[in-house]
Amino acid sequence: MAEQTLPATGREWHLAARPNGWPVPEDFALVEAPVQAPGAGQIVVRNEFLSVDPYMRGRMNDVKSYVPPFRLGAVMDGGAVGRVVASEAEGFAVGDAVLHGLGWREYATLDAAKSVKVDASLPLQSYLGVLGMTGLTAYAGLLEVGGFKPGDAVFVSGAAGAVGSMVGQIAKLRGASLVVGSAGSDEKVRRLTEDFGFDAAFDYKNGPVAEQLAKVAPEGIDIYFDNVGGEHLEAAIGALKLKGRAVLCGAIAQYNDTNPPIGPRNLALAIGKRLRLEGMLVGDHYGLQPQFVAEVGEWLREGKLVVEDTVVDGFENTADAFLGMLHGANTGKMLVRLNG
Ligand code: NAP
């Protein structure tokens, strides 16, 4: 494919201010910036899909964490997929589809070695969701961290989201005895049981989580996959059976809190029940990638997995898509599609 002429400028989303509590549109700035020509070993990618993720909220704070904070006045980095439009790198041709981490920008100039070529016969957006970071989080969290075994009863919070909807379906496909989930609307609860194959689900906004969980899993649970923290984690500790496991994947209920959360207040139950509560970061599990792609890819080909992305059109809507995701606007993976 012939090298394309690069535009002089492209748009980027920068962090304009650090939020205190819930982020607002004014915390982000849409900026026109020069598109850098590629140096030796570099490629220029025209992005087609961008990922907006809960962990980005943590990076908006100026605190030490497992990923460095975003810098004020700099681009919001993150997962993106697109096509190479200029290449000075061996093995990378114009038209190749690549995944990279340079985030919220229309054009990304980067060392080719920092990108991953992907098979463009699959929808590119799948590399940010079902076959990407969130899919691997679900797969590794349930199987490797949670030590899932056929016959286990599984409860997952954030169940209608990117990670949660995969956790429930993987548990079912691997032979769970019961899969229950919680989500934040009647419609999501309906989708969980009718479309995603959960045995039961409840809306956590409809009443105490512990009471609602006891109704859908009266005999208790073997694994809790925690995407939410707080009240959900406390309820799950109460419901976990002897030798139960909690996979601590996320705590989205507290990402916008300005005060430290209270609890879980019943942590001492973990002693008598010999529970294992284990934090996880997907980055520790990339060794599982080949097995993950093989097994999940097969389920996809066989039509055994229901994959739903919530796609927001237009680069200019990226910050709104991120804010919407934090408020629960998505079912499945929240993505931004850049206009043709
Ligand atoms: P997601 O679930 O697709 O989207 C976020 C969802 O969180 C929203 O749709 C919303 O759904 C829910 N939510 C927002 N506020 C909530 C609250 N106060 N209580 C309960 N639910 C709330 O996002 P995701 O990418 O799949 O991530 C899910 C979790 O996994 C997050 O906590 C994320 O940080 C974590 N994660 C961790 C790793 C890791 O390596 N440890 C990797 C990826 C993701 P509702 O409408 O149901 O409220």
Task: Please determine, for residue 213, whether its predicted confidence score (pLDDT) is greater than 50.
Answer: yes
The residue whose CB lies within 8 Å of the most ligand 1 atoms, and thus the one to mutate among 57, 65, 163, 310, is 163
pLDDT of 102-155, one tens digit each? 999 999 999 999 999 999 989 999 999 999 999 999 999 999 999 999 999 999
Residue 197 has pLDDT above 90, yes or no: yes
Where do the domains of the chain lie, and which CATH numbers do they carry? 9-127+308-337 (3.90.180.10), 133-283 (3.40.50.720)
Q: Where are the alpha helices (DSSP H) in 174-208?
A: 186-194
Tell me the whole-structure pTM to 2 decimals.
0.97
Q: Considering just the CA atoms, what is the radius of gyration of the chain in Å?
A: 21
Least confident range of 21-25, 104-108, 299-303, 316-320: 299-303
pLDDT tens per residue across span 249-260: 999 999 999 988
Q: What is the number of other CB atoms lying within 10 angstroms of the CB of residue 195?
A: 13
Q: For 274-287, what is the mean pLDDT?
A: 98
The mean pLDDT value for 273-299 works out to 96
163 CB near ligand 1 (under 6 Å): yes
Helices (H), the chain: 55-59, 133-140, 162-173, 186-194, 209-216, 230-239, 269-272, 289-301, 318-326
- If you take atom 1 of ligand 1, which residue's CA is the nearest one? 161
Q: How far is the CA of 330 from the centre of ligand 1 (A)?
A: 10
Q: Whose CA is nearest to atom 18 of ligand 1?
A: 253
